[in-house]
Structure 1
Amino acid sequence: MATTDRYPRQAATLALAHALSAAERGLAVIPLSRTKLPALRSPHRDAPAPAGPPCHGECGLFGHGVHDASTDPARIRELFAAAPWATGYGIACGLPPHHLVGVDLDTKSDTDSAAALHALALRHRFTIPPTIIVLTPSGGRHLWLTGPPDVVVPNSAGRLAPGIDIRGAGGYLVGPGSRTVHGAYATAPGTAHLAPAPCPRALLRLLLPPRPSRSGATGPTAGGAHGRGLVQFVLAAHEGQRNTRLFWAACRAYEDGIGPELTADLIAAALRTGLPSREARGTIASAARMTTHRPTRDTPGTQN
């Protein structure tokens, strides 16, 4: 029988202790269940779909995934008190001060993800610096890196290479010390004392979506040629990248001061690619919050 089944109270106490320790290092955390999902369910799960963007915690209740993430010890204790069944914690990526980027080397794929990363490093001439490495129960590894404060690294699964997932803005990493149905997460020997290392520039370029093409953009669009380029970038999205492209384009629009004016055009473009209206509006709202640096409620939860 798993430890979390025999000693649920002890597991919850340990999870809280590890979460508070992570928060002391400036890492925003949320409680996780044994399935690695956020332990608190949405308070709006039975409510009708809202006409506007979905609630990201404005209601004041818990249960909004990474939007709940915090470094405040009092708030973290409240989160875990509301989820006494939590046996782990998630660390929100992309938030200040670290702007964490997680490189998840999976073992479920037939591809050797570690070898794939090594091949990428040789091809693009970068080296992964010494950094925190977290060992997963399945034998995988999470490499912790930091990104620039003015760059939004999106989540991706297998885009960099088969078996390599990226956790960036809107995602979270399972923290060391967490216990799941498959076992415990732990820092690799000799790495616990390290700080997350800066992501190599060559690797960072691979993690970002390509710059939007501005050719072929027609029709009146807010923001002129730049706005049309962002809209075309969204229109060119294929299934599996629609949300990521919309999020990236919306972040660029808000950073450049044309976000509110370009929102309608971005939503229209997202709808043409097949993205549901509610999801498109929520993605743009998340981008707006991300670019205004609201550290505890910026991004939607994505598990790894």
Structure 2
Amino acid sequence: MNEPHHPAHAAALAHALRAADRGLAVIPLSRTKLPAVRSPHRAEPRRIRCHGECGQIGHGIHDATTDPTAVRALFAAAPWATGYGIACGRTPHHLIGIDLDVKNDVDGIANFEALAVDRGFAVPASITVATPSGGRHLWLRGPADRTVPNSVGRLAPGIDVRGTGGYLVGPGSTTNRGTYTLAPGTEHQALAAVPDALLQLLAPPAVASHRSMPALPIAGRQAVALVQFVLDAPDGQRNDRLYWAACRAHETTDAPALAAALIEAAVRIGLPEPEARATVTSAARRISARGAR
């Protein structure tokens, strides 16, 4: 690889490697805050539903990794990258991002503080990132047995949630609007656990009776959380959620049994069984290919 074309690329790579060393899976981002590695399917005549099972990079958050060699390869493929994204919901931290926007007449920081008072929880002292617009990203550690979905303005205006399948712009990233930095006083702050009262607001609502939990062949909070993640999938996201959950399942020692439970859950929410099995098989191939690198 040639030397980066601008210092922001080298800085973003250095910050991304430090995050990966702390167990945070990362991807390179462009100045627009979008994944920087171009899709290998962009020239294909029809839209391809692929999350990396093709064996190539360029699948957005599905490329996120903590492997330093893989991180360098992703940045090498996108020398225009000036930032990096941190995947939320991944083990071991199960990161949840509370994105507090401050723009126009909306003050997400004030609205979050008011929400905390109303719901009876204290805003945790945790890692906090200052955004170029004057907002904040509050990082929280989620539990392994709960899945937190992404949302925009659901809790209150100016409060967005980055959960499973989402990502946060990492500190040290440079974007069209400026640079993301650690907020003063939080440089050495530990990652705080999400308060129980806040978690009740963030967690998905109870599923309908036809989406009840199937009998699991194995025990464990992670198994329950992954199956529930599939059961909670809204229309249009069922296959995507199944693929993500199957990838996480194939990173465990109980992969075959858990994969079967995920297929059953997918069928319960309306996916044809052949499609569900094909998705789980693709996920297994993807994880096996990563392990062979």
Deviation at 1:112, TM superposition (A): 2.0
Greater length-normalized contact order (CA 8 Å, ≥ 6 residues apart): 1
Deviation at 1:8, TM superposition (A): 4.3
- Indicate the residue corresponding to 2:255 in structure 1: none
Q: Any unmatched runs of 5+ in structure 1? A: 1-6, 270-280, 298-304
- Indicate the residue corresponding to 2:192 in structure 1: 197
Between the two proteins, what is the percent identity of the paired residues?
54
Task: Please give the secondary structure, in 2, of the residue aligned with 1:267.
Answer: coil
Q: How many residues align?
A: 257
1:252-291 matches, cutoff 5 A = 258-267=261-270
CA shift in 2, pair 1:122/1:258, >3 Å: same
- Indicate the residue corresponding to 2:39 in structure 1: 42
1:92 corresponds to which of 64, 79, 87: 87
1:69 partnered with 2:64: yes
2:146 corresponds to which of 139, 148, 151: 151
Contact 1:91-1:175 within 8 A present in 2 as well: yes
Contact 1:11-1:87 within 8 A present in 2 as well: yes
1:118-137 matches, cutoff 5 A = 118-137=113-132
TM-score where L is the length of structure 2: 0.75
Deviation at 1:9, TM superposition (A): 2.0
Contact 2:229-2:241 within 8 A present in 1 as well: no
Question: Partners of 2:54 and 2:232 in 1: how far apart?
Answer: 33
Task: Please give the secondary structure, in 1, of the residue aligned with 2:102.
Answer: coil
Task: Please give the secondary structure, in 2, of the residue aligned with 1:60.
Answer: coil
Question: Partners of 1:59 and 1:190 in 2: how far apart?
Answer: 44
1:24 partnered with 2:27: no
Question: Partners of 1:177 and 1:231 in 2: how far apart?
Answer: 34
Report Cα offsets for 1:61-118 as digits up to 9, x if no partner: 1101111111111111111111111000001111011110000001236332122111
CA shift in 2, pair 1:115/1:256, >3 Å: farther
1:173 corresponds to which of 155, 168, 172: 168
Contact 1:222-1:258 within 8 A present in 2 as well: no
Deviation at 1:230, TM superposition (A): 10
Deviation at 1:55, TM superposition (A): 2.0
Deviation at 1:125, TM superposition (A): 0.9
Contact 1:109-1:162 within 8 A present in 2 as well: no
Task: Please give the secondary structure, in 2, of the residue aligned with 1:16.
Answer: helix
CA RMSD of aligned residues (A): 3.7
Question: Partners of 1:70 and 1:39 in 2: how far apart?
Answer: 14
Q: Any unmatched runs of 5+ in structure 2? A: 216-227, 250-257
Contact 2:89-2:95 within 8 A present in 1 as well: yes
Question: Partners of 1:45 and 1:13 in 2: how far apart?
Answer: 26
Contact 2:109-2:135 within 8 A present in 1 as well: no
Question: Partners of 1:23 and 1:111 in 2: how far apart?
Answer: 33
Name the amino acid aligned to 1:55: C
